[in-house]
Amino acid sequence: MKTLFKIIQPLYSVWSYLVFFLFVAVSIFITPLIIIAGGKNYIRPLMKYYRFWSDVWFALSFMKQDFTGYEHIDSNRAYVIAGTHSSTLDLFACGSSIKMAYKTLAKMETAKIPVIGYLFRVACLFVDRSSPESRKASIDNMIKELREGTSILIMPEGTRNRTGKPLKEFHDGAFRIAIETQTPLLPMVVLNCRLLMPMDTLLVTPGTVGVRFLKPIETLGMTEKNIPALKEKVYKLQEEVILREDAFFNSSQIGK
């Protein structure tokens, strides 16, 4: 069976990418219509559309979804969502599992990607880490969005984890924003993407993508002094889930 799959895996991978780029082509036309119809509140219907897009991609790519922890989320509140990031597949997992209006903090380089960059520009907030002015502007934009009820997704690792460890060292950004705005921080763990869409190959493997929303951590009353402790707490919580449930680190989870 494994030998047969090795033969058909390249074809399966090509199919998965074709479905993705087909949705990109369609979205180039649909996204502006959603923005026009939605006006200032366009992000809510846009995220619903992107969630539909992700769900269909999962279905057509024969990927299963295992998302839990929704009981921890209050749909009437905004959160700073601290996600894990080990693969490009994480983007589909986030798009499909996050059911609230949110924007993602992204590197400025993603806005420059031909065609796809447009879709990032309308759904993300950007930061140029080499520019103090850009970092300050991104913080101001995140604070504005949070106060208007839009959640912010930040990957504390900063970029995709290419190490053999469960997590890279965290940056302060997500925790600083949560504390500064007194917004609850929602830890989110994406599972199995490292095996299903590895960073060192274009091949895709069908399987189950997991997402775990952990209990939000209230930041009311916290100050800048609490950033190291909050960062360490979230790191340990996410690391524990990854070691226990991610198939890359736990062979008993393979095939589940």
Of the candidates 142, 172, 179, 138, the one whose C-alpha atom is nearest the C-alpha of residue 158 is 172
In whole angstroms, what is the distance from residue 126 CA to residue 109 CA?
9
Q: What is the mean pLDDT of residues 107-123?
A: 85
Would you say the C-alpha torsion 38, 44, 50, 51 has a positive or negative sign? negative
Of the candidates 246, 235, 245, the one whose C-alpha atom is nearest the C-alpha of residue 82 is 235
Residue 238: predicted pLDDT: 98
**Cα separations (Å) of 68 from 84, 104, 188, 252?**
15, 21, 10, 19
Residue 188: predicted pLDDT: 98
**Cα angle: 150, vertex 152, 155; to 5 degrees:** 170
Predicted TM-score (pTM) of the model is: 0.91
Helices (H), the chain: 2-38, 43-60, 89-97, 116-123, 132-147, 173-180, 193-196, 227-245
Residue 164: predicted pLDDT: 87
Please state, for a pLDDT cut of 70, what percent of the chain lies above it: 96
pLDDT of 251 > 80? The answer is: no
Architecture of domain 2-253: 3-Layer(aba) Sandwich (3.40)
pLDDT digits (tens, 9 = 90+) for 124-136: 888 776 677 777 7
Residue 136: predicted pLDDT: 79
Joined together, the tokens standing for residue 243 give 């070691």
**Class of residue 111 by CB neighbours under 10 A (exposed 0-12, middle 13-18, buried 19+):** middle
pLDDT of 140 > 70? The answer is: yes
Residue 160: predicted pLDDT: 87
Judged by DSSP in three states, 152 sits in strand
**Class of residue 206 by CB neighbours under 10 A (exposed 0-12, middle 13-18, buried 19+):** middle
**Cα separations (Å) of 239 from 41, 64, 155, 218, 233?**
35, 23, 14, 20, 10
Higher pLDDT, 22 or 112: 22
Radius of gyration of the chain (CA): 18
Query: How high is the mean pLDDT of the chain?
Result: 90
Residue 6: predicted pLDDT: 76
**Class of residue 79 by CB neighbours under 10 A (exposed 0-12, middle 13-18, buried 19+):** buried
Residue 256: predicted pLDDT: 57
Q: What is the mean pLDDT of residues 91-108?
A: 91
Higher pLDDT, 77 or 253: 77
- pLDDT-derived band at 216, boundaries 50, 70, 90: very high
Q: Which residues pair with 124 in a beta bridge?
A: 104
- pLDDT-derived band at 217, boundaries 50, 70, 90: very high
Residue 250: predicted pLDDT: 79
pLDDT digits (tens, 9 = 90+) for 14-66: 999 999 999 999 999 999 999 999 888 899 999 999 999 999 999 999 999 99
